Amino acid sequence: MEDLLRPLYQERASNEGTLGVLLIEKTKPFFPATDNLDCVLFIIVQQAEKPWSIKHYEFDNKKAALHIVTEDQLNNWLLLGSNRRAVEWVLNGKVLFNRNEYVTRLRDRLHEFPIQERTKKIGLEFAKLLRRYYDGKELSHSGQYLDAFNNIMHALHHMARLAVVEHGFYPEVTVWNQVKMIEPEIYKLYEELVTGNETLDKRIELLLLASEFSLTSKTKLGASHLLNVMGEKEEWTYQELMDHPETSAYAIDLTVLLEHLIDRGFLKTIRKETKGKNLYHRYYSLQG
C-alpha cells in the first residue's frame, strides 16, 4: 500500500516546509481511527493556505484519505483535545518522512508532556468540567433529568481527562481505559451513572455530590494556570483576561471559572467608579 501511495506524498516530502508524513492503515473490519477508510496519510507542514485540508482517493478497490495539517493547527488539536484521532495518528502512525526528527521529537513531547503544557491542559479541562457540572446541577434542580444526565456525563469525561493529565499522561481516545488504571474512583462514578440500579434522578443526585467534592479538592490544581497568569499584574478587567493568549483556549468558560474561584476564596473583585451613579467597573485580583 505504501508504494501505491508514494506519489501522493513524495513531492510534498521534498518541500522544505513539510515536517513529517505518517501512514495509518486500517487493521480491523471497523476502524474509527481512519473513519473506516483503508488508510490515512497524515502530512504535517509548517504553513499552508488552509490550516487543514483533506482529499479522498481510490485505488485497487481501496479508499484513502490525505490530511494536510499545519503545525499550529496540530498543536491546537493537542491542547484542546478537539481531534483526538490526531493524537493516535502521531503516536501510532508509521513514519514515512521525518524531517530533522520532527515526528520523533513530537512523540517524545507527547510522552513526556512538559509541565507548562500540562498545567495549561489542566486549566482547560477544569474550566470545561465546571461548566458541565453547573449546567447539570441547574438542569437537575429543574427536573430536566435527561439533559442533566448528558451534562454530568460530559463533566465526568472532563474529570477523567483532568486526572489523566494530572498523572502526566496525554488523554487518548480510550480515556476511560486510562482512568480505570490511574484513578479507579472516577471510573466507578462513571459506572454508577451509566449502570447504577438507582432511579435516574437519584444517580444524578449522587454524582453531583461526588462531583462537588472533586471540584473542591481539585480547585487549586485546576486553577493553577489561570492564577499564574493573573500573577503577572495586580488587577485585571475581564476583557484583559479573555484576550490573554494563555487563556484563549478556555475563554468561553472563563466567567464560570472566575466565579468559582471567587466563591472558593482564590480571587477577589475590586470595584471602580464609572460615570453612572452606583455603577462600578469590576476588576479581578488574586486574593491576598
Residue-wise pLDDT tens digits, 158-214? 999 999 999 998 887 678 999 999 999 999 999 999 999 999 999 999 999 988 988
Indicate the fold that domain 2-112 takes in CATH.
Beta Polymerase; domain 2 (3.30.460)
pLDDT mean across residues, the chain: 93
Per-residue pLDDT at 84: 83
Q: If pLDDT is split at 50, 70 and 90, which confidence band does 19 have?
A: very high
Residue-wise pLDDT tens digits, 63-111? 999 999 999 999 999 888 888 889 899 999 999 999 999 999 999 999 8
The second-level CATH assignment, the architecture, of 115-273 is Up-down Bundle (1.20)
Domain boundaries, the chain: 2-112, 115-273
How far from 237 is each of 32, 272, 288, CA to CA, in Å? 44, 11, 18
> CA 89 to CA 263: how far, in whole Å?
41
Which helix (DSSP H) or strand (DSSP E) does residue 8 occupy? helix 2-13
Q: Which residues of 82-111 are buried (b: 16+ CB within 10 A; e: fewer)?
A: ebbbbbbbbeebeebbbbeebbeebbeebe
**Looking at the DSSP assignment, which residues form a beta bridge with residue 236?**
284
Q: Dihedral of CA 181/182/188/191: which sign?
A: negative
Beta strands in the chain (DSSP E): 18-25, 39-45, 52-59, 62-70, 94-98, 267-273, 280-286
Please give the radius of gyration of the chain, using alpha carbons only, rounded to the nearest integer. Answer: 22
Our CA dihedral for 77, 78, 84, 88, rounded to 10 degrees, sits at: 130
Say what percent of the chain tops pLDDT 70: 99
* Paired sense of beta strands 52-59 and 280-286, if any: unpaired
Q: If pLDDT is split at 50, 70 and 90, which confidence band does 145 have?
A: very high
DSSP 16-63: TTEEEEEEEE--SSS-GGGTTSSEEEEEEES--SSSEEEEEEEETTEE
Nine-digit cell string for 246: 494563555
Q: What is the pTM of this model?
A: 0.88
Nine-digit cell string for 59: 485505488
Per-residue pLDDT at 149: 96
